[in-house]
Amino acid sequence: MIQFIEEHHRRDLLRSHGVEPRHRLLFVGPPGGGKTSLAEAVATELAVPLLSVRYEGLIGSFLGETAARMEALFDAVRIRPCVLFFDEFDVVAKERGDTHETGEIKRVVSSLLLQVDRLPSHVIVVAATNHAELLDRAVWRRMQLRLELPYPTRAGKVEWLQAWSTRTGVDLGLSPRTIADRLGRVSFAELEEFALDVQRRSILSGPEPDSLAVVQQLLMQWSSRAAVSEE
Residues 6+ apart with CB under 8 A from 105: 94, 96
Q: What is the DSSP letter of 32?
A: T
- Give strand pairing partners of 198: none
Per-residue pLDDT of the chain (231 residues; tens, 9 = 90+): 899 999 999 999 999 999 999 999 999 998 888 899 999 999 999 999 999 988 777 776 665 677 788 888 889 999 999 999 999 888 878 776 655 555 566 777 888 888 899 999 999 999 999 988 888 888 888 899 999 998 999 999 999 999 999 999 999 989 999 999 999 889 999 999 999 999 999 999 888 888 899 999 999 988 876 554 544
Q: State the pTM of this model.
A: 0.80
Tell me which long-range contacts 14-19 makes (C-beta under 8 A, separation of at least 24).
Answer: none
Per domain, the residue ranges of the chain are 2-148, 154-230
Per-residue model confidence (pLDDT) at position 201: 92
Per-residue model confidence (pLDDT) at position 33: 87
Is residue 124 exposed (0-12), middle (13-18) or buried (19+ Cβ within 10 Å)? buried
Amino acid (1-letter code) at residue 229: S
- The number of CA neighbours under 13 Å toward the Cβ of 85 is 17
Is residue 185 exposed (0-12), middle (13-18) or buried (19+ Cβ within 10 Å)? exposed
Q: Which fold has domain 2-148?
A: Rossmann fold (3.40.50)
